[in-house]
Structure 1
Amino acid sequence: MNLLHVSSNDLNETLHDLGGILDIRSNDSLIYEKCDFLDIFKKVQQQFIEEIQQKNATISVEFNVKDIYYPKIYLESILSNLLSNALRFTATNRAPKIEIHTHLEPEGTLLTVKDNGLGINLPKYKSELFMFKKVFHRGFESKGVGLFLIRYQIESLGGKIDVQSEINTGSTFYVKFLEKIYTNTLIQQ
């Protein structure tokens, strides 16, 4: 009975995760609004304040691009998942150091989230990195859904996500946003 209960809970969790992904796919009513990176970062940071303090993490932010027009719920999800991973997959011999930046590139806004954590073996896992339920570090509370979810959110709106990483040195995630341009009541992409 215990195994059946655990199995049932795992299946419910997977169905819930898949339901969220389908919601992204069918969500034609996303609200694009002016999103202030610093405001959203502060909101997301509050979710992890206890872990930040426990791990003595330092987080530096530099938002050269102050805001973008984007679905706020997606931007919160992206920052939350990247910050969560940077705090979760930390090296035992050093305090987490996380750097979050935005800057303008010719094709759009680039968000960079860099950490000094465990890193990822990219030669081995790069092709699986953003796949559903893929976990690359054992012994951590991870379901393998976060990176898949944010990749789907970013790409569903025409953006891109990429990563550079070195084992035991850290990872840097690059999120290129494709913004909608607002002129009067017209929305162009």
Structure 2
Amino acid sequence: MLRQFFDFTPDLFCVASFEGKFLKVNPAVSNVLGYTEEELLQIRILDLIAEEDKEITSTSRDGIKEGKPLTNFENRYITKSGETVWLSWTSVPVHEHKYIFAIAKDVTERKKSEAEQQLLYQEIDRANKDLEHFARMASHNLRSPIANIMGLFDLIDYDKLADEDNANVVRLIKQSTEKVSDTLETYINSLIRKDGTSKLLLKELSLAECLNNVKQSLNSLIAQSEALIKTDFNAFNSVTFNQSYLESVLLNLLTNALKYRKPRQQAEVLFSTQINNGKKQLIVADKGLGFDMEKAKGRIFGLNQTFHTNHDAKGVGLFLVKKHITELGGDISVDSTKDVGTRFTITFP
């Protein structure tokens, strides 16, 4: 029975000498490395190992001979066909006969997956740095023109505006500009605080108040789309979060819901809260165009990813939403059906 296990197990079993030669191998070793058993018994083990791993492998083998246990040691082997495979070894010495009994698993696919993940993390980190650099430049460059616009509003004599409707339009433009200025200053101050402390300012926030701030900045778009915006904050209304981040999240989700509404239909958006497994969750659901989840799989919160043909779709909003939430320890998920609507679930930390 032990012989059958040795012959048919997918794991690699071998017996090696202290000098670094195979004395016995099971068929799995031959299958993975591509050599016959006879060929393997004639080759030094070190000659099969990738150049980059030879030194650490020799050091580990010396440790085994000194009685040190070896578990989950990973190194690369070069197969007969020239491919690289990763093996994870557990080995024990038998000093009486100067043998080493070893068992290994082929972990090549896992190592490939880890390498791909590392490349993805590096790309995300690069994108985050690029986006933050862009945000700093944009914030700095917008400061002066907005200050100039605010100065021009101070020069306007509203009493001399004969048409009251025009005067109201000017006041609304001024109010929107003031909101942009306040938001910009708050964001710049957040960046400054983050540079100084590596931490964002967190405080207890009212979801209703933050949403009202966002709605004021979008009053023209809301009126244009005749949007019906409902709220249900009965489960909870307050969260501990960064205000700039939270209002940015709400702004992007609401803007998307308004922009991607069904043609010639009133936009409908519901903001609601719930407690799920002890975690506070904010739900943002609309009855808009939606999108194909299968086609968008893995790309929904990616930078420069768009799922509609609107000319102003840039693929930045949802990336920012995800970044703001995850940076503070939260999470966000989405469920969408084409021509039915989209539902975002934000889980607060």
Give the letter aligned to residue 71 of structure 1: N
Which residue number in structure 2 is paired with residue 32 of structure 1? 202
Q: TM-score by structure 1 length? A: 0.80
1:110-125 equivalent positions in 2, closer than 5 A: 110-125=281-296
- DSSP 3-state at the match of 1:83: helix
Separation of aligned partners in 2, 1:99 and 1:72:
21
Separation of aligned partners in 1, 2:313 and 2:223:
21
Which residue number in structure 1 is paired with residue 326 of structure 2? 155
How far the C-alpha of 1:15 sits from its partner, in A, is 8.5
Give the letter aligned to residue 19 of structure 1: H
Shift in CA distance, 20/36, structure 1 to aligned 2, threshold 3 Å: farther
Shift in CA distance, 40/133, structure 1 to aligned 2, threshold 3 Å: same
Which residue number in structure 2 is paired with residue 97 of structure 1? 268
Q: Could you tell me the percent identity over the aligned residues?
A: 30
- DSSP 3-state at the match of 2:248: helix
Which residue number in structure 2 is paired with residue 43 of structure 1? 213
How many residue pairs are counted as aligned between the two chains? Answer: 164
In structure 2, stretches of 5+ residues that fail to align are 1-127, 137-190
Separation of aligned partners in 2, 1:121 and 1:157:
29
Separation of aligned partners in 2, 1:145 and 1:132:
6
1:137 to 281, 303, 308: 308
- DSSP 3-state at the match of 1:128: coil
Which residue number in structure 2 is paired with residue 54 of structure 1? 224
Residue deviations 1:134-167 (CA, integer Å, cap 9, x gap): 1110124121111011101111111111111110
Give the letter aligned to residue 96 of structure 1: A
Separation of aligned partners in 2, 1:53 and 1:139:
19
1:171-182 equivalent positions in 2, closer than 5 A: 171-178=342-349
Separation of aligned partners in 1, 2:311 and 2:271:
23
How far the C-alpha of 1:20 sits from its partner, in A, is 5.8
Separation of aligned partners in 2, 1:16 and 1:52:
31
In structure 1, stretches of 5+ residues that fail to align are 1-13, 179-189
- DSSP 3-state at the match of 1:99: strand
Contact 1:133 1:145 in 2 (8 A): yes
Separation of aligned partners in 1, 2:224 and 2:205:
29
Residue deviations 1:93-151 (CA, integer Å, cap 9, x gap): 42111000012223421010001111011010021110001111012412111101110
Separation of aligned partners in 2, 1:111 and 1:46:
20
Contact 1:17 1:145 in 2 (8 A): no
Separation of aligned partners in 1, 2:316 and 2:334:
16
Give the letter aligned to residue 172 of structure 1: R
Which residue number in structure 1 is paired with residue 131 of structure 2? 17
Give the letter aligned to residue 220 of structure 2: E
Which residue number in structure 2 is paired with residue 78 of structure 1? 249
Separation of aligned partners in 2, 1:21 and 1:165:
29
Give structure 1 regions of 4+ aligned residues with deviation exceeding 4 angstroms.
Answer: 20-23
Task: Please give the root-mean-square deviation of Cα atoms over the aligned residues, in Å.
Answer: 2.2
Give the letter aligned to residue 212 of structure 2: K
Separation of aligned partners in 1, 2:313 and 2:129:
16
Give the letter aligned to residue 44 of structure 1: V
Which has the higher Rg, Structure 1 or Structure 2? Answer: 2
Structure (1/2) with the larger strand percentage: 1
- DSSP 3-state at the match of 1:127: coil
Shift in CA distance, 131/147, structure 1 to aligned 2, threshold 3 Å: same
Separation of aligned partners in 2, 1:45 and 1:16:
29
Which residue number in structure 2 is paired with residue 108 of structure 1? 279
- The structure with higher relative contact order (CA 8 Å, sep 6+) is 1
Separation of aligned partners in 1, 2:267 and 2:341:
10
